[in-house]
Each structure stands twice: as structure tokens, then as C-alpha cells.
Structure 1
Amino acid sequence: MADDPRDIPALFSQVPDGLFGPLASPNRRHHWRLLYQLYQDRFGPDAPLPPSVGFLRREIVADLERFLLTDDPWEAEEGEAPEASLPARANALYERFRTAGWLRQERIGAREMVSMPPMVARLLGMLTEFIERGPAFLGAKVKSIELQLQQVVAGHAEGDTLDEAADQARQLLSFVAATSVQVREVMTELAREESTASFARALFERYVSKLFVGDYADLHSADHPLARRASILAMVHEIAHSQIRDRLRDWYRQRLTDGDEARAELRLQRALRRLEEIDRIDEYLDRLEADIRLANRRAVAFLDYRLRAPDKLDVLVDRAIRAVLAAPEGVLRLPVAPGGLLHEGRLRPPRQLSAQIERSANPERIATPEQLARMSLLRQMKRARLVLPEDLQRYVGKHLQAGSVDSAALPIQTIADLRAFQTLLTLGIRGGKAGVLRPGDPLRNMLKGFRVELLPDTRTDNGHLAVPRFIVHRQGKAA
């Protein structure tokens, strides 16, 4: 029975229409790298808790500038530095992501705050999980399905748990079916490898490590969770033929179908049907085992041929030459028609190539060596003035030998030292005010292993700056 069309979720009612524009453009790989970095550093689960109102726009643009400064994918791929300045490129990329819907900008007072919509962040998290996913363990999925059905049968869970178990059952079968197809595709690609070393390396890197089911060797053992699918089917039968069915149908009617009894029954039947399909897991596993056995035989035969053929090839050629020299003249006739074997009439006519269309686009501008040198110098200048947490820790750790060091004892020999000294002064000034260095502040992340105490009544003059005196104290482990 087909699902109700009204139950088909609408994708673009949840995400913006142009969301996939940057990922479908010619520079999609570069855009993905920048989005992945922003998600990991600002909006992902591993990033610090973002402010409730979002980040300042200039902070996000500064992140994009830093990514381009340290690792510019456009320059790495094309071999040339882009003509636009670094701030202009970062602002253009920010506007591209904001227009597509990956970032949301709001004005709060006089400030422009940036955040990532929850549905977009969830989609980006799913894409990241899809990329980083390794070999699956079928036993864990079966255990999860069984535990959820036990909760439903005991009355401790409702239709949402039943839907989750049904989705996991469908994903389990889809994964096994997809693995069979991937095994066949990978073996077809491996057959194109030219050398034995590259074939063996690709076999273990792609076939064994990425496609192999983690608990494949234990699938048919007595204590494997897959052996308890009979218990899962028994609970599904109990749900379908007891008062539990009425309770779940009422839950679907009240929570998902707006009181529509027929649609609630269809949703319940779909969930039960998906759970009942787990009985077909043996069929999928048998096909997977047949594909794996075939792939193993092909791999062994290929390696055996590659390892043995060069040794016997000279012997076979010599044997063929001796047989031709010793054979009678009539035996050496080829089974071909009369006439010249390599006559021009037997050859395939040459392929006629169409004339190339002359391009009328503007010629590409090639940067001169002077322009390349200037841009390289500009990047080095900006990097020397950029203070990262590791730069500050390196400067403090070099001069903080005892428990503390006075600002007058901090030498300034390079631009990087001057910027590190200014950053320490900023930490001392802002750290002396209550509530200034809040959690999530980028400056707060630089205070690792030390703290800065400001002495406003005295001053330090090191020949470059005349500033309030401060003292850097060691805190915990050495910086």
C-alpha cells in the first residue's frame, strides 16, 4: 500500500531554496571546505557555546579571512593568487553564504549579528556525519530496534519510538543492500589498476577498511543480536494484534494526523510493515556474502595473475617461437579470409574532428612576478600582525621562566613580539573589568596556563610603547 502523499515531507519548507547553490557551483569543493571550517569552529557541537544572539559579522568575516590566509584553496588549485584583496574576497564569500541561507544576519541595535539557522546546522551536521562514517556494526542497530520495541510493548513509549525503530529497520536493510552494490563497484574500479602494488593498496584501503561490516564475522553466531530478530518479529505481531495497536493509533491520530483516523492507520501500518521487513535480512546478507565471495575470488585471481604471469611469460613466448619454427607450413595458416591482412580497405576510416569554435571571451590576466611578490609580502605582513593563541603561548612560554614576569622584562625584537605584547596588555585591561571577558570571548581562549595582572598606577616604557605596567603570572601548567 502506498504512503499518503500528505505524509511526504517537503524539503524546501525546512531549508532555503538556494541553500545548495554554493555546493552546486564550479567552486563547490572550496565552498564546502569553508563551510566545514565555520561549522567546526563556530556552530558545530565541538565548538564553544555560541552567544544566544550570534556572533558579530566582523568576527565571521575575520574567520573567513584567516582561512584564506592560512590555506587558500583557490590559489592552491589554480596556481595563481586571486586578483581581489583578501578582505574583499572574505566579504564576498560571506555574502554568498548569507544569500544562500547558510548564515542568518540580524541587526540588534547598531550591531549586525550572525548565526546559523537550526535546520541548516542540522543538515550540515548530517553531511559531516555522512562523510566521517566508517564501517557499520549491524548488531548495535538490531539491539537498538529490540530495546525500542520493548519500551513500546511495555507501555513506556508511544508512536515516536515505534517510528524510530521502523526507520532504523529500513536503514539496516538499505545499508546491507548498498554495501553489495558498493562491493561490485569497487572491484570494477580496482580492475583498472595498472600495477600490483596499487591494486593491493587500493584493495585494503577502499574495500576492506571502508566497506566491510564491522561485525561481519559474527553475524551468524548464536549470541549475535541478529539471531534475536525472531523476538523482534514476535513483538511486532503482538503490537499488530492486541490493544497496543489501538493505543498507538490514537497517538498517531492526536499527534500527527490532526484527528484523521484513516491517515493514522496508514502511518501505523507503514511502521509495522517496515519492522516486518527485517525478516528479509537473511536474503540481503546472502546476496552480500555472494558478492564478497566473488570479489575475494577476483582479487585473489588478479593478484595471482599479476604475481605469476611475468615469470611464465618468457617461457611461453620461447615455447611458441620453437613451435612455429618446427611446425609444417600448412599448419601455420591463419583462419582469415584471403587478401592482405593489413590492407587499407580493412582499416577503420579516420575520425573526422569538428573544427573548434573560437572563443570570444576576455583573455585571462596573468599576474606579473612583481604582483605575485607583492601579494606574498602582503600575506606575510598580515600573518606577522595576526596573534593566534599558539603564538601568544609561544611568546609567554619563552620569557615566563619563573612564576611571573614583569612587562618591563618582556623584550620586543620583531613585529610578532610587539603584537603579542599588545595582546597581553589588552588581556590585562579587559581582565581587570568585571564581566568583560565572558565565556566564548575569543580573547578568553588565549588565557591558557597564565593570567595577566594590570598595575594601573605604574607604567612601562620599552622604547616602543609607554603603557600601564602589568605582570604575567603562571597558572597551572607552563604556557
Structure 2
Amino acid sequence: MTEYSSPAPPLFAVVPDGLFGPLASSNRLHYWRLLCQLFAEFFGPDAPMPPSVGFPRREITSAIERYLLTDDPWEDDGAAPDAPLAMRANAIYERFRTAGWLRQERVGAREMVSMTHAVAQLLATLMDFAERGPAFFGAKVRSIELQLQQVVAGNAGGDSLDEAAEQSRQLLSYVSAISVQVRDLMPELIKAESTALFARQLFERYVGELFVGDYAQLHNADHPLARRTAILTMVRDIEQSDVRGQLIDWYTERATGGDRVRAEQRLQRSLRRLYEIDRIDEYLARLDDDIRQANRRALAFLDYRLRAPDKLDVLLRRACRGVLGAPQDALRLPVAPGPLMDEQRLRAPQQRPRPIPRTANTSREPTPEQLARLNLLRQMTRARLVKPEDLSRYVDRHLGATDSIDSEAMEIASIEDFRAYQTLITLALRSRRQGGLRRDDPIHRMLRGFRIQLRDGEQTANAFLESPRFVLHRTRNVA
């Protein structure tokens, strides 16, 4: 089923067309600081309860005047820099009102100023984005799990499922973005003028702003990220139980205007996004590689800065000035008299020894029997070697169109099947730990499109061996 899609959201049907004009001008830094100050003082959640009709215009322009007293000068942006303070404040106010950041209404004989809900919400989002610090994956995964528990229990509807799916996608996007930011940050840090500045920027920006807050605990068994198997189990329960019908009814009634087909597409989109959390290991592995490379570059740069002579360019300029200002007799080279480039002073050319003649080793052609034995040995070795694609073919052959299969229903018809079945037993035994297989386990790469669940205390016997009983579950839909 194709993913539910919709056209681009109409942004400028919600916010004014020229809203970003002040933030794109030459005074954008001043405008941004002034907007943040007005939001915090009058319109933000930390400000006192505003009047229902807004604030008097004079109160807003007075706040702008106070800001101009501490943040000046501005570049020429419509008003002369030497204009009176009140005139400049009114010009800035009109710029905000024309752009749409402020709304002015006449109440009686007074002009009252307010900020629309959409503009205030956009400004709060921009401020949160600018102040965003290191992320904590544990809190995000715990939030996804709690919302899915409410959906499975029937205490929440499609809104909680959509929120969990959106957080799952944001989690993967954030890990991917950190890798790009780490690679982009290191060339910028190397431009630091001093070793102290490089070290300070490294720890303030690289560690303080980009790093994952709970990165050191990501590989622990008790970290919430280890419970992603439980999250995937709840997603499968939602897809295969009666909860699916309840969610489709919820989407049909509240999100799609009675269109049941679109409701099913909406549900399938959220489930597909939640299934993507199974790919977090790939993103974390790439993040580990990028962080290790960034650490090596930072250590190499610090080692170079600490070993190189301090202020080498200053020493070279000082030596050049000394040579230009020294008397003629002081510039003589400390060498004996005579021609410096006389042929008697040159080193004799080096005579390279003649290479030793080499003869090729004689080789004997193998006999047909030796070739046949070698090919047989290669076939035997390959038949006993299980690669991820071999295991995937064996599992897909038994799963077919179903989502799970018991080990008792699996067949062994060849040596390849026998070795694949042994590999599944190994995966089942190693997945006994809480949270499933560790992502740094070498055998973890064998899990492609399925997961394995061990049945404790139960045994499976076939014509070849007796082993613990296990069940295979498909982890994502096969397109």
C-alpha cells in the first residue's frame, strides 16, 4: 500500500507573507533579539497575563526604546541613525506591524497591540529550535513506548499513535543530522587562531551542543533503547489485533472526514514509521564512526599545536627585520673562503648496484584429480558457510506470506538447510538476554527482516538433532 501523502502545507495561509522580512534584512540580529525580548516581556508563556484587547501601542514602543538604549547602533534601515529615539522606535514598530509580527487594532480612541496565536506559536518554535541542546535518546524512546502502551490498552486513539510515529522518525533524523554536524564542525574548529580557543570551542560546541546527552549509556542493557524489541512487538499487536479496527474508525471519524481508505493509509503510514525504529542500529553505528574520526582529528590537531613552535610567524618576521637592518659585515655566511659551487665540493654521484637477475619459479600443472578434489573441497566449505543472504532465503522460504513460524514446522532438506537451522538456534540462544541481541554482537548482522524468540523450557526434535524451541517473526513488511 502506498504511503499516505498530502500536498505541501499552506504556510502563508497561516502566517503573513512578509513575516520573515525583518529577519532577512541587514539588521536581522537586532530584530531577532528585539522579537525575543518582546515575546518574553509581553506575549510569551512566561509573561504576565495579557489584556484581552492587547497592550497600548505606547507601551510597546517604550519597550523598543529601552532596547535601543542598550543595543545600538543599527545599520541604516529606513530611519536615519541620528534620528530621535522615539522616531526610530516607531519606525521599528511599523516594520514589525507591516510584516505581521504585531497586530494593531483600534479600541475606542486607543490603538491596542497584540500578537496572533499562529505568529506567537511560530516564534516560540524558532526560539526552541535556537536553544536546542544535546538530545537524550532514553527519554524519547520511553515516551514512544508509553504512548504505544496506551494505544494497545485502548486508552488512546490515533493522535497518540501519530505522535509516537513522529517521535520515532525524529529520533532517526536527529541521529542522522548529528553525523552531518560533526563532519561539518571539525573543519570550522581547525580555523581557530590559538590552541586554547580550539579546545574551548571543541568542548563548548562539539560536546555541549551536538553530543547525545546519554551517549555513554546507549549500549547498556538497562537503557530504554534496548526495549525497542518490545516497541516493535506492540506495533505488530496493533497491526494484527482488534486495535487496528478501532484506530481506523478513529481516523475515519476525526482525521479523514469519513474516508475509510484514507484512514487505512494514515494508519499504515504511522505503523511504517514506527517499524523504522528497528534501523536505529545502522544510524548509531555510523554515528560511532563519525565521532571516532572526529576525536582522532581533534587529538591530532591538538598534538600538532602543542608540538609546533609557538608564534612561528612572529619569529620569522622578527628574523627578516633583523636581516634587513643588520650591517653589511654581519651578513657574511659562516663558511670558508672559496667558490661555494665548485665541482670539487659537490658530492660524487651515487652508483646504484646492478639488479640481480631473477628467474621465475617453475610451476606444475595440477592433475585432473587434484582439480576435482579442490573443487569438491570448495563446495563442501561453501555448503557449510552461512551468509546473511543464505539465512534470509531459508527464512523466507518457510515464512512465505505468514508473519511467524515455529521451529517444529521448519524443514531440513540439505546441508545448507541444516547449517541455516543451526545458525537460527545460535541466534535464539543469544537473544535470551533482555532487549535481544546486542548490536555489537557479530552474529547480529544475520537478522535481516525477522526476529527470533526462544521458548524457554521447550524442545524441538527432528530427524537430525534436538534443540531448544523457537519462533520466527517478521519485523517489517516486505514490499
Report the AA paired with residue 123 of structure 1. L
**Are residues 310 and 68 of structure 1, via their aligned partners in 2, closer, same or farther at CA, if it must alter by over 3 Å?**
closer
Q: Give the match for residue 274 of structure 1.
A: 273
Query: Are 1:9 and 2:28 an aligned pair?
Result: no
Deviation string 1:10-62 (CA, Å, 9 cap, x unpaired) is 21121111111111122211111111110011111111111111111111111
Residue 329 of structure 1: how far off its partner (Å): 5.3
Q: Give the match for residue 367 of structure 1.
A: none
Residue 3 of structure 1: how far off its partner (Å): 4.7
Residue 177 of structure 1: how far off its partner (Å): 0.5
Query: Are 1:33 and 2:33 an aligned pair?
Result: yes
After the TM superposition, which residues 459-478 of structure 1 pair with which residues of structure 2 at under 5 Å, given as runs?
none
SS of the equivalent of 1:72 reads: coil
**Are residues 103 and 147 of structure 1, via their aligned partners in 2, closer, same or farther at CA, if it must alter by over 3 Å?**
same
**Are residues 272 and 308 of structure 1, via their aligned partners in 2, closer, same or farther at CA, if it must alter by over 3 Å?**
same
**Are residues 230 and 64 of structure 1, via their aligned partners in 2, closer, same or farther at CA, if it must alter by over 3 Å?**
same
SS of the equivalent of 1:74 reads: coil
Q: Give the match for residue 48 of structure 1.
A: 48
Query: Are 1:242 and 2:261 an aligned pair?
Result: no
Q: Give the match for residue 375 of structure 1.
A: none
Residue 4 of structure 1: how far off its partner (Å): 4.6
Q: Give the match for residue 362 of structure 1.
A: none
**Are residues 296 and 237 of structure 1, via their aligned partners in 2, closer, same or farther at CA, if it must alter by over 3 Å?**
same
Residue 8 of structure 1: how far off its partner (Å): 4.0
Structure with larger Rg: 2
Work out whether residues 98 and 104 of structure 1, in 8 Å CA contact, stay in contact via their aligned partners in 2: yes
Report the AA paired with residue 94 of structure 2. E
After the TM superposition, which residues 42-441 of structure 1 pair with which residues of structure 2 at under 5 Å, given as runs?
42-74=42-74, 82-310=81-309, 328=347, 330=349
Work out whether residues 145 and 165 of structure 1, in 8 Å CA contact, stay in contact via their aligned partners in 2: yes
For structure 1, which runs of at least 5 residues remain unmatched after alignment?
Answer: 314-324, 332-479
SS of the equivalent of 1:136 reads: coil
Residue 293 of structure 1: how far off its partner (Å): 0.5
Report the AA paired with residue 158 of structure 1. G
**Are residues 329 and 36 of structure 1, via their aligned partners in 2, closer, same or farther at CA, if it must alter by over 3 Å?**
farther
**Are residues 32 and 204 of structure 1, via their aligned partners in 2, closer, same or farther at CA, if it must alter by over 3 Å?**
same
Residue 301 of structure 1: how far off its partner (Å): 1.4
For structure 2, which runs of at least 5 residues remain unmatched after alignment?
Answer: 313-340, 351-479
Work out whether residues 30 and 73 of structure 1, in 8 Å CA contact, stay in contact via their aligned partners in 2: no
Residue 162 of structure 1: how far off its partner (Å): 0.7
Deviation string 1:326-351 (CA, Å, 9 cap, x unpaired) is 982547xxxxxxxxxxxxxxxxxxxx
Q: 126-135 vs 283-292, which deviates more?
A: 126-135
**Are residues 72 and 231 of structure 1, via their aligned partners in 2, closer, same or farther at CA, if it must alter by over 3 Å?**
same
What TM-score results when the alignment is normalised by the length of structure 2?
Answer: 0.63
d(CA) in 2 for partners of 1:251 and 1:330? 91
Residue 105 of structure 1: how far off its partner (Å): 1.2
Q: How many residues align structurally?
A: 318
d(CA) in 1 for partners of 2:137 and 2:193? 35
Work out whether residues 159 and 248 of structure 1, in 8 Å CA contact, stay in contact via their aligned partners in 2: yes
Work out whether residues 189 and 202 of structure 2, in 8 Å CA contact, stay in contact via their aligned partners in 1: yes
Report the AA paired with residue 267 of structure 2. L
**Are residues 131 and 239 of structure 1, via their aligned partners in 2, closer, same or farther at CA, if it must alter by over 3 Å?**
same
**Are residues 55 and 10 of structure 1, via their aligned partners in 2, closer, same or farther at CA, if it must alter by over 3 Å?**
same
Residue 121 of structure 1: how far off its partner (Å): 0.5
d(CA) in 1 for partners of 2:241 and 2:2? 24
Work out whether residues 4 and 269 of structure 2, in 8 Å CA contact, stay in contact via their aligned partners in 1: no
Post-superposition, which runs of at least 4 consecutive aligned residues in structure 1 deviate over 6 A? Answer: none
Residue 69 of structure 1: how far off its partner (Å): 2.2
SS of the equivalent of 2:133 reads: coil
d(CA) in 2 for partners of 1:165 and 1:227? 17
Residue 7 of structure 1: how far off its partner (Å): 5.7
d(CA) in 2 for partners of 1:81 and 1:33? 20
SS of the equivalent of 2:26 reads: coil
d(CA) in 1 for partners of 2:276 and 2:208? 28
What TM-score results when the alignment is normalised by the length of structure 1?
Answer: 0.63
Residue 5 of structure 1: how far off its partner (Å): 4.7
**Are residues 327 and 244 of structure 1, via their aligned partners in 2, closer, same or farther at CA, if it must alter by over 3 Å?**
farther
**Are residues 137 and 253 of structure 1, via their aligned partners in 2, closer, same or farther at CA, if it must alter by over 3 Å?**
same
Residue 207 of structure 1: how far off its partner (Å): 0.9
Report the AA paired with residue 57 of structure 1. R
d(CA) in 2 for partners of 1:254 and 1:8? 23
Work out whether residues 166 and 271 of structure 1, in 8 Å CA contact, stay in contact via their aligned partners in 2: yes
Identity among equivalent positions (%) equals: 69
Residue 225 of structure 1: how far off its partner (Å): 0.4
Deviation string 1:211-260 (CA, Å, 9 cap, x unpaired) is 11110000010110000011111111111111111111111111111111
Report the AA paired with residue 286 of structure 1. A
d(CA) in 2 for partners of 1:57 and 1:179? 44
Q: 165-174 vs 7-16, which deviates more?
A: 7-16
Q: 121-130 vs 103-112, which deviates more?
A: 103-112
Report the AA paired with residue 52 of structure 1. S
The CA RMSD over aligned residues, in Å, is: 2.4
